[in-house]
Structures are given as C-alpha cells and as structure tokens.
Amino acid sequence: MSRKKTKSDALYLSDRQPLTTAKLISLIVSYILLIFWAFIILWPLAQIVISSFNGNQGSYISIGGEYKFSLKHFTYLFEQTYFWNWVGNTIVVAVATALLTLLIVSFTGYAYSRFRFSGRKASLMTIMLLQTVPTFAGITAFYTLHSIVAAVIPGFTRQLFLILIYAGGGIASNTFILKGYIDGVSTELDDAARIDGCGNLQVYRLIIMPIARPMLAIIALWSFIGPFLDYMMPSILLNDPRSYTLATGLHTLINDQYNMQQPAFAAGGLLTAIPIVILFIALQKELVSGLSSGAVKG
C-alpha cells in the first residue's frame, strides 16, 4: 500500500538553512524593493508603448485619457518626417563604427598584448589618459579637422567624420579590454601556430580572433549601440535634417512647439530598439559564452 505523503514526510532538500522569522522578513523587504525598482524602470517604458499606439493622444502625451488603438503616430512618423532617412543613416553609421572599431581594436589589442616595443606602456597610459577628456571638448578641433580633410577629399562628408569620431573614441577603452582578454590566452598557442606555419596576422586571424570572439562580440555590440544613443555630436556636426541619425532626428519632434509630436517620438523610440534587439539576439550565444568562459577552465 502506498503511503500518503504528508508535509512532515517531505525531505528538506535545500542546501540552505531553513528560514528564520528575521530572515523571512528581510527576504520580503528585498522583494518589495526589487519590485519597486522594476516598476520605476518598466512603467515609463510601458507608457511609451501604450502612448505610441493610442489614437487619442494629441501632440503632447497625457496619461489617463481614453485608449483607442491606432497606428496614426507611426503613419505620421513614416510620412511626415524623414524617419526612414534617419534609420538608414543611423544603421550605416552604427555598422561602420562597429566594423571600424573591431578592425582597429583587433590590431591594437593584439599588438599591445603580444609584442614588446619601446613606449608600449607609456603609449597605453597616454591613450587612457586622453580618454578622460570628454569627446565634446574636441568639438572645435573636429570642425577644423573636417574642413581641412574635406578641402582635400571633397567626398568626405560630416557623416563619415562622425563615424571616425565614434570609432576613434572607442579605441582606447576597447583596446584595454581586448588586450586583457588576449593576455589570458596562453602564448603557447601562438608558438604552436607559428610552428604550424602561421605569420603574425594569421596567428591573430586563425587562432586568437576565434578565441576572443565573445569579447569582440561585446565590443561590436557596444560600438553599434553608441550612435543610437548619442544625440549631441550629430546635432552639432550635421546640418541637414535628412542626414540626422535617429536620436537627433527624433529629438526634432519634441524640441519646439510647432513640431511637437510626443506620441510620434514615443513610436520612433520604440522602433529604435528593434535593430539593437536583433543584433543582441544574433550575438547572444557569443555574449553568454563570453560571460561564462571566465568561470570555466578551458
């Protein structure tokens, strides 16, 4: 006959000590705090989603009115603004920035990790220190540089210049990160590859790069997201609204009374997230293995 399972029969399987009253209370308090925190983050996001689909919203977002599902803010965005231009611009800038950063950082990170040359430490420190000066402080230098280069190469647009600024700005910290990661890869692998017939670049391309992929994925993702978030540089450097990036372009919908279209801004914000989410999902495998690879000995 099978015995009926009662609560006292159940084996206590957890590795932790049973909860005392004090611990239980502190657990409840932590949960309340966490839920409150999550609410602060999620509620505005939810408002953006709701407002962007709410046909009853005027040019200002008001909370608590009647809800009517409509796509009119999206239609406005697509038909009355340069939205698609902005999307195109941003993606071009972001992809170019990510690729350029990856390329340069690959060289610098590998070189700083593997080669001993005079001025190695000093130059690394200098780059790091220069990084403390905000990009914005260089704005006059950027203007001058651009006019000099544009005088020689007429095709050198401000957008191209923007890409260089983004990519250049990321080199220092990313070099540091990648160098640290490659330092963790045994140099015996380089030796083995060299005996197997690789030159310096092949050692990087065939051996080091595949091993450093998780870190490269993170660097790529960061560099890609940068142009989506930055509003300042494009708004100063670019003068034609059609050449704006998303952040700057959408900002025109909320920065003066005549063009005010807050729900359309919300709709644009929502759409902005899509490319980043797609890239994140594509790189997810790399990112997760990058986060966990430190914990598992290879």
Partner 1 sequence: MKVELANIGKKYEGRESFTIRNIDLVIESNQFCVILGPSGCGKSTLLRMIAGLNSITEGDLLFDGKRMNRVEPKDRDIAMVFQSYALYPHMTVYENMAFSLKMAKERKTLIHERVLEAARTLQIEEYLYSKPSEISGGQRQRVALGRAMVRKPAVFLMDEPLSNLDAKLREHMRVELVRLHQALNTTSIYVTHDQTEAMTMADIIVLLDQGKVQQVGPPSEFYQKPANLFVAGFIGSPTMNIFKGRMEQGLFRSENDLILVEPNAEDARKLKAYEGKAVCMGIRSERFNAGKAEKNGITVKIDVIEMLGKEQLLYCKFPDGQEVIISEPGHFEYGLNEDHNFNFDIDGLHFFDAETTMRIN
Strand partners, 69: 54
Question: Residue 259 has which token pair?
Answer: 């063009």
Does the protein bind partner 1 through residue 287 (CB under 8 A)? Answer: no
Q: In whole angstroms, how close is the CB of 191 to partner 1 at the nearest point?
A: 5
64/298 with CB nearer partner 1: 298
Give the C-alpha separation, 177 to 105, whole Å: 9
Does the protein bind partner 1 through residue 134 (CB under 8 A)? Answer: no
Name which position in 165, 193, 221, 247 contacts partner 1 (CB under 8 A): 193
Q: In whole angstroms, how close is the CB of 189 to partner 1 at the nearest point?
A: 5
Name which position in 31, 196, 292, 294 contacts partner 1 (CB under 8 A): 196
Does the protein bind partner 1 through residue 198 (CB under 8 A)? Answer: yes
Q: Are 154 and 120 in contact (CB under 8 A)?
A: no
36/117 with CB nearer partner 1: 117
Ramachandran region of residue 228, left (φ > 0), alpha (ψ -120 to 50) or beta?
Answer: alpha
**Residue 54: φ, ψ to 5°:** -95, 115
At what angle are helices 213-229 and 262-293 packed, to 10 degrees? 160
Give the C-alpha separation, 173 to 108, whole Å: 11
Name which position in 116, 121, 151, 155 contacts partner 1 (CB under 8 A): 116
Only one of the segments 8-16, 93-101, 209-217, 264-272 lies at the binding site for partner 1 (rule: CB under 8 A); that segment is 209-217
Name which position in 188, 256, 281, 295 contacts partner 1 (CB under 8 A): 188
Name which position in 27, 148, 191, 241 contacts partner 1 (CB under 8 A): 191
Q: Are 225 and 276 in contact (CB under 8 A)?
A: yes
Closest CA to 60 of 196, 259, 230: 259
Q: In whole angstroms, how close is the CB of 210 to partner 1 at the nearest point?
A: 4
What are the CA-CA distances from residue 221 to residues 44, 97, 217 (Å)? 25, 10, 6
Does the protein bind partner 1 through residue 205 (CB under 8 A)? Answer: no
Strand partners, 54: 69
Does the protein bind partner 1 through residue 210 (CB under 8 A)? Answer: yes
Residues that bind partner 1 (CB under 8 A): 116, 186, 188-189, 191-198, 202, 207, 210-211, 213, 298
